[in-house]
Amino acid sequence: MYNERDVGIYGEVKRQCVNMKGDIMTNPVVKVEDFHKVYGNFIAVDGISFEVHSGEIFGLLGPNGAGKTSTLESLEGLRSPDSGIVQIMGIDPTRESRKIRNIIGVQLQSSGLPGSMRVDEAMKFFSAYHRVAPRYDLLERIGLAEKMSTQYQMLSTGQQRRLTLALAIAHNPPVVFLDEPTAGLDVHSRVELHCLMDELRAAGTTIILATHDMAEAEKMADRIAILLSGKIVASGTPRELTVTGAQCTKITVSTERSSLLNTRLQLPGVIEQVSKEEYIVYYSNDINLTVPAIISYLVDQGDSLVDLRVERPSLEERFLEITKAGGAI
């Protein structure tokens, strides 16, 4: 299912969508304004606002109980907001539920299909309700061609998730909601699904991605909102989110003669240093000062670099930082 050729397509698609963004990402496709959702005494969503534009992948992150599901379900028309505006392409999902069905495609986290429903039957069944021709080609595209006659209950978790994704996009909706799309998938299926998401984005489809997988959000999302206790505590591009944190950049160095090991250098910008076997790891708050200083030291010592890696803090680290601080950042 996954091969070198797919990686090529992936790269090409990525470039296309970067070009597209400047042209089409102007009008909000999804609009959420001062949205509140309360269950009894529990405030699930406390006045959040965000917009998502055409052809954008928008990541919705947050720990369990942060308000992600309430937000998604209100956008999908499964719940009614208590106050505020929730719109998709100008349509209120709860008031115009029939209209919204053909505009959105939803892959639910716990997707329910009748256990005895076969793969081809599922495609025919939902396509009929969306009044479109069944997209059997999509099933082939996601590697389910040989499973057409297999009942849903006999599919593996990964195959079930791929099927529900195919069903979510079969009617070509301009907005797609993906709730934990890669949960339970093997590596190849994940890559394939990410390629498919990229293709959708390139085609101008807007994707709302709710995930606990920070690496996935960082890789796939154009913008991210982190929800905590019903509020958006951070938002922006993955890069914007990671650089605004207090985390330091990690510089990992290995040299020919190990001259950096077992020495406590006063390098500029370095806050902490740790030795790990033949590597030394510096945590720096200014890599522009630290990296040249390391190289200069090595030249002075007559040593040379074997490996030098500079890693900015990951989204996961930033996420943990935000959620540990209770959003007070």
Partner 1 sequence: MNAFLNHMSFEFRTGLRDKSLLLMNYLFPLIFYFVVGPIMAKLNPSFKDTMIPSMVVFAILSSMVLSLPNPLVAARESGIFRSFRINGVPASSILFIPALTAVLHMVVVATIITVTAHLFFNSPLPTDWFSFVLAFFLMSFASAGIGVLIGIISSNSRITILWSQAIFLPSMMIGGLMIPASMLPSGLQKVGMLLPSTYALSIFRGFAENGGISPIWSIVILSAGTLLSFLLSGYLFNWNNINVSRRKNPILAVLAFLPYILGFALLS
No. of H helices and E strands in the chain?
Answer: 11, 13
- Exposed / middle / buried, residue 194 (Cβ in 10 Å: 0-12, 13-18, 19+): middle
Report the distance separating Cα 316 and Cα 323, nearest Å. 10
Minimal distance, residue 166 CB to partner 1, in Å: 12
CA distance 60 to 7: 26
In whole angstroms, the minimum distance from the beta carbon of 79 to partner 1 comes to 9
Residue 267 CB, shortest distance to partner 1, in Å, is 55
Residue whose CB is less far from partner 1, 20 or 78: 78
CB of 153 to partner 1, least distance (A): 10
User: Cβ closer to partner 1: 58 or 177?
Assistant: 177
Closer CB to partner 1, 83 or 129, in the complex = 129
Query: Crossing angle of helices 187-202/4-24, nearest 10°?
Result: 30
The 10 Å CB-count burial string (b at 16+, else e) for 121-137 is bbbeebbeebeeebbbe
What is the nearest approach in angstroms of partner 1 to the Cβ of residue 204? 21
Please enumerate, as own/partner, the contacts of 5-12 that have beta carbons within 8 Å and a separation of 24 or more: 6/191, 6/192, 6/195, 7/191, 9/195, 9/199, 10/191, 10/194, 10/195, 10/198
Q: Contact residues for partner 1 (CB under 8 A)?
A: 76-78, 98, 101-102, 104, 106, 108, 110-117, 121, 124-126, 128-131, 151, 164, 167
Q: With respect to partner 1, which residue has the nearer C-beta, 78 or 329?
A: 78
Residue closer to partner 1 by CB (options 27, 97) is: 97
For partner 1, the closer CB: 78 or 183: 78
Which CB sits closer to partner 1, 128 or 215? 128
We find the least distance from the C-beta atom of residue 91 to partner 1, in angstroms, to be 14
H or E, element range at 177: strand 175-179
Burial class (CB in 10 A: 0-12, 13-18, 19+), 206: buried
Beta strands, E only, 124-173? none
CB of 143 to partner 1, least distance (A): 21
